[in-house]
Each structure stands twice: as structure tokens, then as C-alpha cells.
Amino acid sequence: MWAALFPGQGSQTIGMGRFYYEQFQTARRLFESASDELKINFKKLCFEGPEEELTLTQNAQPAIVLVSCTAWFCLAEETDINFLKYCAGHSVGEYSAMVAAGVLPLNSALRAVRQRGLYMSECCPPGEGGMSALIGPSPKEAKSFCQWVEKESGHTPLETANFNSPEQTVLSGSSRALDWAKKHYQKYVFSSAKVRLIPLKVSAPFHSSLMEPARKKMNTFLHTLSFKTPNKLIVQNTVAKTENEPEILRNNLIEQVKAPVSWLQSIQYLIEQGCHSFLELGEGKVLSSLMKKIDSSKTIAHFHSLDDLQKLKNITPWRSIK
């Protein structure tokens, strides 16, 4: 059984989506429609940048969703897309999963993530919040480490934000707590022999309690959109299991803004459901790298070239390239 995986923020890069744009009329139509919808020149933003503009949260999030959904719709024209039974997206990638499963139209999702990016970037003044990757310890140890830092330093909050793999958890919170943790983490008794704490180049403390103002604003915004029953099984970040009711899907997207991304648990759930193969749809191979750390025995495929497309056609009923 196959599952489609959609990457989140951090996967953006100059040149993203160019392959689809150059090869498929559908991609050119989607880029044009998205540009008209958000009044952003996505062709220029994705292909030329500049990088500092593309990496702005309010630009990166719609660009990532646009490219992932473009890959989905182009693939749907060339193969029997029904070979993909499940969908899951990492953080903002969950909006791509909603589009793929027919819950939201693409332009509605793009408007939502544009606002999501703006709201999230407004939550914390520059320099007062951030994120760091804790490499080595288990998710349980990462939670205990955050509690230890808060107690010993007196700085709050410091929280687990992304459970990416068995040995990689992203922490999020105040810059003071993160700075103190960076200076003193070697004093904490971890079970893992090798531990690293790596500051991430992000603009805000995403998926932490500091995102509460953004959660409230997304609650209002997402209730202006109509959510439909999915035509595929969606595994959501906040609960690491499938949800089918439109209102539950909406509410989980709202809570996701400040809740941890349970990616490790979501992939483990998919494997438990019988998924043995995964297709990462979007720019880069971030989720593929995480999959190798979670379960290296699973098949991982991509759609970054015509050769990739041919390989996918070999496992599905297919139509010729138009």
C-alpha cells in the first residue's frame, strides 16, 4: 500500500517547481491561477527568488503548498492516482494533503497558508523566539530535557515542536531558554552517548504555546472556508491517525499551529496500517531522509523528473504523456 507525503517549511529552495512548470501545461495553469489569487508572482518567486524573499514565512508556506499540489495534479493526469491510499503532510504540508484528498480547493488552501504564515510571523518579536534540533535523545527524553531547562534556567517556554524521527526532535520556545539550553545541555544526563543541539534558521518559535495568537486567528479564518469529506485517508499531525469528519479536520488544522508535529508517530501509524511504500510529492527529499531514520526498509519514491514519472507508471495503470 502506498501513501503520499507532502513536505513542510524548510523544503523551499530557488528553482522549486521548475520541472513541473516546464513539462506540464497543468503546472503553468496552476502557477498562473495561484499568482492571480494571492497577487504574488510565483514563477518569479520560486524560480528566481531572491532567497530572502522566498524564505519569508508568509511566502514560503504558499510556495511549498503550490509546488506540492502541482506535483499531485500533474501526477494525477499521468497515472491512476488511486494507487495512493493515504495522505500526510509535515506541518504546512498538511494543507497539501487536504487539497490532494479533496477537502479544500487549492486556492482556498493557498489563501489559508498565506494567512497562516503572516499570523505565525507576527506572534513573536524578532529575536525573542526560535527553534533548535535535538539530535540523539528519544522523544520522551526530549520532553524531559525541556522541563529541566525551564526549571534550571527559569526561562519559559521551551517545548517539543516536531517529533521527526526516533533520534531527532525539534524544540521551540523563547530565545533565552534556547540559548541557555545550548550552553548547558551537556550537563543533562541523556541515555544517548552522542547528543547535539543545533539552532535552526527560522523566524519564529513555530508549534509552541507562543503561537497561541496565530491559532486564534486561524480559528477565525478557517471557519470562513468550506471543508469537504476527504476522498482519501488523511493522517493528521496533531493526532497521528486518520480523520474523516470535515469539522475534525478543520479543528486539528487550527490546533496544529501551536501543537507538536507528531511526524514520527504518523509514519509509524501508516506502517501499522500496511503502508510499505511512500511517495514524497514536492521539492527536495527532506521527508525521505526522515523516513530512512524511522524505517529504512520502506520504499521511497519521488516525482522530480520524467524518469521518476516512468517508474511510477510502471507500478500503476497509466496514460501516455501528453
| Count of CB atoms situated within 10 Å of the CB of 97 | 33
User: Which tens digit of pLDDT belongs to each residue from 8-59?
Assistant: 998 999 999 999 999 999 999 999 999 999 999 999 999 999 999 999 999 9
Take residue 220 and report the three cell numbers written for it.
Answer: 477565525
pLDDT at 131 over 60: yes
pLDDT at 321 over 60: no
What is the domain class of 129-202 according to CATH?
A: alpha beta
Side chain identity at 174, as an amino acid letter?
S
What residues act catalytically? 91, 207
The alpha helices in the chain, defined as continuous H runs, are: 18-23, 25-38, 42-48, 51-54, 57-78, 93-100, 106-122, 139-153, 175-184, 212-222, 246-256, 263-272, 286-294, 306-313
Strand order, beta sheet including 2-6:
241-243, 233-236, 84-89, 2-6, 277-280, 299-302
Give the predicted TM-score (pTM) of the model: 0.95
Which letter does DSSP use for residue 103 in this model? Answer: S
Q: What's residue 124's pLDDT?
A: 87
Alpha carbons within 13 angstroms on the beta-carbon side of residue 57 total 21
Q: Are 13 and 68 in contact (CB under 8 A)?
A: no
The three grid cell numbers given for residue 308, joined into one nine-digit string: 521518476
| Confidence (pLDDT) at 319 | 42
Question: How much is the pLDDT for 279?
Answer: 97
Q: How many residues does the chain have?
A: 322
Q: Give pLDDT, residue 193.
A: 83
- pLDDT for residue 125 is more than 90: no
8 A C-beta contact, residue 282 and residue 96: yes
- Give the residue-averaged pLDDT of 132-151: 97
> What confidence tier does 316 reach under pLDDT thresholds 50, 70, 90?
low
Cα 47 to the chain's mean position, in Å?
21
Write down the pLDDT at residue 71. Answer: 98
Q: From the CA atom positions of the chain, what is the Rg in Å?
A: 19
Kindly provide the b/e burial profile for residues 3-41, where b requires at least 16 CB atoms within 10 angstroms of the residue's own CB. Answer: bbbbbbbbbbbeebbebbbebbebbeebbeebbebbebe
Residue 133, beta-bridge partner list? 170, 198
Residue 249 — very low, low, confident or very high, per pLDDT cuts 50/70/90? very high
Tell me how far apart the alpha carbons of residues 228 and 247 are, in angstroms, rounded to a whole number: 9
Q: Which amino acid is at 217?
A: K
Residue ranges per structural domain of the chain? 2-123+210-313, 129-202
Nearest to 153 by CA among 186, 184, 116: 184
Q: Give 299's contacts (C-beta < 8 A, 6+ positions apart).
A: 276, 277, 278
pLDDT of residue 152: 97
What percentage of the chain exceeds 70 in pLDDT?
A: 98
pLDDT tens-digit profile of 266-313?
999 999 999 999 999 999 999 999 999 999 999 999 999 999 999 998
Percent of the chain with pLDDT over 90: 93
Q: What is the pLDDT of residues 79-90, one digit of tens each?
A: 989 999 999 999
Instruction: Return the closest-CA partner of residue 11 out of 318, 300, 290.
Output: 290
| CATH pick for 2-123+210-313 out of 3.40.366.10, 3.30.70.890, 1.10.3470.10, 3.10.310.10 | 3.40.366.10
Task: Give the Cα separation of 260 and 262 in Å (integer).
Answer: 6
Confidence category of residue 192, pLDDT binned at 50, 70, 90: confident
DSSP 19-80: HHHHH-HHHHHHHHHHHHHHT--HHHHHHH--HHHHTSHHHHHHHHHHHHHHHHHHHHHHB-
Q: Is residue 153 pLDDT above 50, yes or no?
A: yes
